[in-house]
Amino acid sequence: MTVESSALYDVPGPKALARHRLYGWLALLVIAAVVGWVVYMLFHTQQFTYQKWTPFQYKGVQELLLRGLGNTLKAFGWTVLFALPFGALFAAGRLSDHRAVRWVCTLVVEFFRAMPLLVMIFFIFVALKAPPMWALVAGLTLYNGSVLAEVFRAGVLAVPKGQKEAAYALGLRKTQVMAYVLVPQANRAMLPTIVSQLVVALKDTSLGFLITYEEFLHAGKLIATNLDYDLPFIPVVMVIAPVYIGMCLLLSWFAKWLERRGRRDPKVKGGAPVAPAGLTPDPQG
Protein backbone atom coordinates (compact mmCIF):
# COMPACT_ATOMS: atom_id res chain seq x y z
CA MET A 1 0.00 0.00 0.00
CA THR A 2 1.41 3.33 -0.98
CA VAL A 3 0.54 6.10 1.45
CA GLU A 4 1.20 9.57 0.16
CA SER A 5 1.79 11.50 3.35
CA SER A 6 3.26 9.29 5.98
CA ALA A 7 3.92 12.31 8.19
CA LEU A 8 0.43 11.70 9.50
CA TYR A 9 0.67 8.14 10.76
CA ASP A 10 3.01 5.24 11.28
CA VAL A 11 3.29 2.18 9.09
CA PRO A 12 0.21 0.26 10.28
CA GLY A 13 0.63 -2.93 12.26
CA PRO A 14 -1.66 -5.99 12.00
CA LYS A 15 -4.32 -4.53 14.29
CA ALA A 16 -4.40 -1.18 12.50
CA LEU A 17 -4.50 -2.96 9.14
CA ALA A 18 -7.54 -4.96 10.25
CA ARG A 19 -9.20 -1.75 11.41
CA HIS A 20 -8.43 -0.02 8.11
CA ARG A 21 -9.92 -2.95 6.26
CA LEU A 22 -13.08 -2.62 8.33
CA TYR A 23 -13.27 1.10 7.56
CA GLY A 24 -12.64 0.27 3.94
CA TRP A 25 -15.62 -2.06 3.78
CA LEU A 26 -17.82 0.42 5.58
CA ALA A 27 -16.78 3.16 3.17
CA LEU A 28 -17.45 0.88 0.21
CA LEU A 29 -20.90 0.12 1.62
CA VAL A 30 -21.75 3.82 1.92
CA ILE A 31 -20.44 4.58 -1.57
CA ALA A 32 -22.38 1.62 -2.98
CA ALA A 33 -25.52 2.84 -1.22
CA VAL A 34 -25.18 6.30 -2.75
CA VAL A 35 -24.53 4.90 -6.22
CA GLY A 36 -27.45 2.53 -5.75
CA TRP A 37 -29.72 5.40 -4.78
CA VAL A 38 -28.68 7.38 -7.87
CA VAL A 39 -29.29 4.39 -10.15
CA TYR A 40 -32.63 3.75 -8.44
CA MET A 41 -33.62 7.38 -8.96
CA LEU A 42 -32.58 7.17 -12.60
CA PHE A 43 -34.89 4.20 -13.13
CA HIS A 44 -37.57 5.58 -10.85
CA THR A 45 -37.80 8.83 -12.80
CA GLN A 46 -37.73 6.82 -16.04
CA GLN A 47 -34.54 8.10 -17.58
CA PHE A 48 -33.84 4.93 -19.53
CA THR A 49 -37.04 4.80 -21.55
CA TYR A 50 -36.88 4.10 -25.25
CA GLN A 51 -38.41 7.46 -26.04
CA LYS A 52 -35.70 9.39 -24.25
CA TRP A 53 -32.78 7.64 -25.89
CA THR A 54 -33.96 7.21 -29.49
CA PRO A 55 -33.15 10.83 -30.43
CA PHE A 56 -29.47 9.95 -30.27
CA GLN A 57 -30.01 7.60 -33.19
CA TYR A 58 -31.33 10.38 -35.40
CA LYS A 59 -28.86 11.70 -37.86
CA GLY A 60 -29.95 15.30 -37.28
CA VAL A 61 -29.38 15.05 -33.54
CA GLN A 62 -25.99 13.47 -33.99
CA GLU A 63 -25.00 16.18 -36.43
CA LEU A 64 -26.26 18.84 -34.04
CA LEU A 65 -24.09 17.45 -31.25
CA LEU A 66 -21.07 17.11 -33.51
CA ARG A 67 -21.51 20.64 -34.80
CA GLY A 68 -21.69 21.84 -31.22
CA LEU A 69 -18.54 19.96 -30.34
CA GLY A 70 -16.88 21.36 -33.44
CA ASN A 71 -17.81 24.90 -32.41
CA THR A 72 -16.44 24.31 -28.93
CA LEU A 73 -13.16 23.09 -30.38
CA LYS A 74 -13.12 25.96 -32.86
CA ALA A 75 -13.42 28.54 -30.08
CA PHE A 76 -10.73 26.69 -28.15
CA GLY A 77 -8.43 26.61 -31.17
CA TRP A 78 -8.78 30.34 -31.82
CA THR A 79 -8.22 31.04 -28.15
CA VAL A 80 -4.98 29.07 -28.12
CA LEU A 81 -3.89 30.77 -31.31
CA PHE A 82 -4.47 34.28 -29.89
CA ALA A 83 -3.72 33.74 -26.20
CA LEU A 84 -0.19 32.40 -26.66
CA PRO A 85 1.12 35.40 -28.65
CA PHE A 86 -0.83 37.74 -26.36
CA GLY A 87 0.83 36.16 -23.35
CA ALA A 88 4.28 36.27 -24.96
CA LEU A 89 3.84 39.90 -25.95
CA PHE A 90 2.74 41.08 -22.52
CA ALA A 91 5.31 38.95 -20.72
CA ALA A 92 7.97 40.61 -22.86
CA GLY A 93 6.37 43.96 -22.06
CA ARG A 94 6.50 43.32 -18.33
CA LEU A 95 10.15 42.35 -18.61
CA SER A 96 10.92 45.42 -20.72
CA ASP A 97 13.65 47.90 -19.77
CA HIS A 98 11.34 50.82 -20.46
CA ARG A 99 9.32 51.79 -17.44
CA ALA A 100 6.29 53.05 -19.37
CA VAL A 101 5.93 49.80 -21.31
CA ARG A 102 6.32 47.83 -18.10
CA TRP A 103 3.61 49.80 -16.35
CA VAL A 104 1.10 49.59 -19.15
CA CYS A 105 1.62 45.86 -19.53
CA THR A 106 1.39 45.26 -15.78
CA LEU A 107 -1.82 47.23 -15.62
CA VAL A 108 -3.39 45.32 -18.51
CA VAL A 109 -2.33 41.90 -17.22
CA GLU A 110 -3.39 42.56 -13.63
CA PHE A 111 -6.73 44.01 -14.69
CA PHE A 112 -7.72 41.11 -16.90
CA ARG A 113 -6.61 38.60 -14.31
CA ALA A 114 -8.72 40.25 -11.64
CA MET A 115 -11.91 40.54 -13.70
CA PRO A 116 -14.34 37.64 -13.82
CA LEU A 117 -14.05 36.17 -17.30
CA LEU A 118 -17.81 36.20 -17.74
CA VAL A 119 -18.00 39.94 -17.10
CA MET A 120 -15.54 40.54 -19.94
CA ILE A 121 -17.36 38.17 -22.26
CA PHE A 122 -20.69 39.86 -21.52
CA PHE A 123 -19.13 43.27 -21.97
CA ILE A 124 -17.75 42.39 -25.38
CA PHE A 125 -20.98 40.68 -26.34
CA VAL A 126 -23.43 43.31 -25.08
CA ALA A 127 -21.55 46.58 -25.25
CA LEU A 128 -19.34 46.01 -28.30
CA LYS A 129 -22.03 43.92 -30.03
CA ALA A 130 -19.55 41.29 -31.12
CA PRO A 131 -20.91 38.00 -32.53
CA PRO A 132 -21.05 35.33 -29.79
CA MET A 133 -18.06 33.34 -30.96
CA TRP A 134 -15.72 36.32 -31.18
CA ALA A 135 -16.97 37.67 -27.88
CA LEU A 136 -16.13 34.31 -26.33
CA VAL A 137 -12.75 34.03 -28.04
CA ALA A 138 -11.82 37.61 -27.18
CA GLY A 139 -12.77 37.15 -23.52
CA LEU A 140 -10.90 33.87 -23.26
CA THR A 141 -7.88 35.36 -25.00
CA LEU A 142 -7.71 38.36 -22.69
CA TYR A 143 -8.04 36.29 -19.53
CA ASN A 144 -5.92 33.28 -20.45
CA GLY A 145 -3.42 35.43 -22.30
CA SER A 146 -2.93 37.49 -19.15
CA VAL A 147 -2.46 34.41 -17.00
CA LEU A 148 -0.06 33.00 -19.59
CA ALA A 149 1.87 36.29 -19.57
CA GLU A 150 2.47 35.77 -15.86
CA VAL A 151 3.49 32.16 -16.48
CA PHE A 152 5.95 33.21 -19.18
CA ARG A 153 7.35 35.99 -17.03
CA ALA A 154 7.81 33.72 -14.02
CA GLY A 155 9.43 31.11 -16.26
CA VAL A 156 11.94 33.56 -17.73
CA LEU A 157 12.73 35.01 -14.30
CA ALA A 158 13.31 31.51 -12.94
CA VAL A 159 16.22 30.85 -15.31
CA PRO A 160 19.40 31.22 -13.22
CA LYS A 161 20.86 34.71 -13.38
CA GLY A 162 24.23 33.45 -14.55
CA GLN A 163 22.73 32.41 -17.88
CA LYS A 164 21.73 35.96 -18.71
CA GLU A 165 25.01 37.42 -17.48
CA ALA A 166 27.02 34.91 -19.46
CA ALA A 167 25.01 35.64 -22.59
CA TYR A 168 25.57 39.39 -22.23
CA ALA A 169 29.26 38.75 -21.56
CA LEU A 170 29.43 36.88 -24.86
CA GLY A 171 28.22 40.06 -26.54
CA LEU A 172 24.67 38.99 -27.38
CA ARG A 173 22.11 41.75 -27.71
CA LYS A 174 19.01 42.11 -25.52
CA THR A 175 16.71 40.37 -27.98
CA GLN A 176 19.23 37.65 -28.64
CA VAL A 177 19.66 36.93 -24.94
CA MET A 178 15.92 36.55 -24.62
CA ALA A 179 15.37 34.52 -27.77
CA TYR A 180 18.43 32.25 -27.75
CA VAL A 181 19.20 31.81 -24.05
CA LEU A 182 16.34 32.59 -21.68
CA VAL A 183 13.21 31.52 -23.55
CA PRO A 184 14.46 28.09 -24.68
CA GLN A 185 15.42 27.22 -21.12
CA ALA A 186 12.29 28.67 -19.58
CA ASN A 187 10.19 26.89 -22.17
CA ARG A 188 10.94 23.45 -20.82
CA ALA A 189 9.91 24.37 -17.27
CA MET A 190 6.82 26.26 -18.41
CA LEU A 191 5.33 23.73 -20.80
CA PRO A 192 3.28 21.75 -18.25
CA THR A 193 1.91 24.96 -16.73
CA ILE A 194 0.99 26.29 -20.15
CA VAL A 195 -0.91 23.12 -20.99
CA SER A 196 -2.76 23.21 -17.64
CA GLN A 197 -3.78 26.75 -18.43
CA LEU A 198 -5.09 25.53 -21.78
CA VAL A 199 -7.28 23.08 -19.85
CA VAL A 200 -8.78 26.12 -18.13
CA ALA A 201 -9.40 27.71 -21.51
CA LEU A 202 -11.06 24.54 -22.81
CA LYS A 203 -13.28 24.36 -19.73
CA ASP A 204 -14.20 28.01 -20.04
CA THR A 205 -15.32 27.69 -23.66
CA SER A 206 -18.53 26.38 -22.09
CA LEU A 207 -19.23 29.96 -20.96
CA GLY A 208 -20.22 30.51 -24.58
CA PHE A 209 -23.42 28.71 -23.65
CA LEU A 210 -24.43 31.73 -21.59
CA ILE A 211 -24.12 34.14 -24.53
CA THR A 212 -25.97 31.81 -26.89
CA TYR A 213 -22.89 30.66 -28.77
CA GLU A 214 -23.91 27.43 -30.45
CA GLU A 215 -21.38 25.20 -28.74
CA PHE A 216 -21.62 21.71 -27.26
CA LEU A 217 -23.68 22.59 -24.19
CA HIS A 218 -26.03 24.68 -26.33
CA ALA A 219 -26.64 21.71 -28.62
CA GLY A 220 -27.31 19.58 -25.56
CA LYS A 221 -29.81 22.08 -24.21
CA LEU A 222 -31.67 22.14 -27.55
CA ILE A 223 -32.12 18.37 -27.42
CA ALA A 224 -32.87 18.31 -23.69
CA THR A 225 -35.70 20.83 -23.98
CA ASN A 226 -37.38 19.11 -26.90
CA LEU A 227 -40.85 17.96 -25.90
CA ASP A 228 -41.03 15.48 -28.78
CA TYR A 229 -38.16 13.54 -27.25
CA ASP A 230 -39.82 13.61 -23.79
CA LEU A 231 -37.32 16.13 -22.36
CA PRO A 232 -34.31 13.79 -22.29
CA PHE A 233 -32.27 15.96 -19.94
CA ILE A 234 -30.48 13.26 -17.98
CA PRO A 235 -29.62 11.24 -21.11
CA VAL A 236 -28.16 14.38 -22.68
CA VAL A 237 -26.03 14.97 -19.60
CA MET A 238 -24.91 11.35 -19.73
CA VAL A 239 -23.73 11.89 -23.28
CA ILE A 240 -22.25 15.38 -22.95
CA ALA A 241 -20.55 15.28 -19.57
CA PRO A 242 -18.21 12.35 -20.32
CA VAL A 243 -17.13 14.00 -23.58
CA TYR A 244 -16.36 17.33 -21.87
CA ILE A 245 -14.64 15.75 -18.87
CA GLY A 246 -12.80 13.32 -21.14
CA MET A 247 -11.38 16.12 -23.31
CA CYS A 248 -10.21 18.07 -20.26
CA LEU A 249 -8.81 14.94 -18.62
CA LEU A 250 -6.80 14.07 -21.71
CA LEU A 251 -5.28 17.53 -21.78
CA SER A 252 -4.62 17.41 -18.02
CA TRP A 253 -2.89 14.07 -18.38
CA PHE A 254 -0.81 15.48 -21.21
CA ALA A 255 0.30 18.29 -18.89
CA LYS A 256 1.17 15.80 -16.18
CA TRP A 257 3.07 13.66 -18.64
CA LEU A 258 5.05 16.68 -19.84
CA GLU A 259 5.88 17.53 -16.25
CA ARG A 260 7.09 14.02 -15.47
CA ARG A 261 9.11 13.93 -18.64
CA GLY A 262 10.72 17.27 -17.86
CA ARG A 263 11.64 16.08 -14.39
CA ARG A 264 13.04 12.78 -15.58
CA ASP A 265 15.22 14.14 -18.37
CA PRO A 266 18.85 13.62 -17.37
CA LYS A 267 19.87 16.67 -19.35
CA VAL A 268 17.90 18.83 -16.95
CA LYS A 269 19.51 17.34 -13.85
CA GLY A 270 22.08 19.71 -12.47
CA GLY A 271 21.11 22.27 -15.06
CA ALA A 272 18.26 24.73 -14.89
CA PRO A 273 15.80 23.93 -12.12
CA VAL A 274 12.57 22.70 -13.61
CA ALA A 275 9.12 23.95 -12.59
CA PRO A 276 10.07 26.47 -9.94
CA ALA A 277 7.67 26.88 -7.07
CA GLY A 278 4.94 29.42 -7.44
CA LEU A 279 4.68 28.95 -11.15
CA THR A 280 1.53 26.86 -11.14
CA PRO A 281 -1.56 28.96 -11.80
CA ASP A 282 -4.81 28.06 -10.17
CA PRO A 283 -6.50 25.85 -12.73
CA GLN A 284 -9.83 27.04 -11.55
CA GLY A 285 -10.45 29.68 -14.16
* 204 burial via Cβ count (<10 Å: 0-12, 13-18, 19+): buried
Question: Rounded to the nearest whole angstrom, what is the least distance from the CB of residue 1 to other proteins in the complex?
Answer: 7
Q: Which among 121, 98, 119, 93 has a CA at the least distance from the CA of 108?
A: 93
Could you give the string, one character per residue 129-168, with x where binding to other proteins holds by CB under 8 A and - elsewhere? ----------------------------------------
Backbone angles phi, psi at 212, to 5 degrees: 60, 30
Q: Which stretch binds other proteins (CB under 8 A): 88-96, 172-180, 203-211, 264-272?
A: 203-211
Whole-number Å distance between alpha carbons of 149 and 112: 11
Contacts of residue 117, Cβ cutoff 8 Å, sequence gap at least 6? 139, 140, 143, 204, 207, 285
Contacts of residue 38, Cβ cutoff 8 Å, sequence gap at least 6? none
Question: Rounded to the nearest whole angstrom, what is the least distance from the CB of residue 108 to other proteins in the complex?
Answer: 14
- Which of 90, 209, 213, 229 binds other proteins (CB under 8 A)? It is 209
Question: Rounded to the nearest whole angstrom, what is the least distance from the CB of residue 163 to other proteins in the complex?
Answer: 28
CA angle 42, 43, 44 (to 5 degrees): 95
Residue 117 as a binder of other proteins (CB under 8 A): the answer is yes
For other proteins, the binding residues (CB under 8 A) are 1, 3-10, 12, 16, 20, 23-24, 27-28, 31, 41, 45, 47, 114-119, 122-123, 126-127, 199, 203-207, 209-210, 217, 220-221, 224, 233-234, 237, 240-241, 244-245, 248-249, 252, 282-285
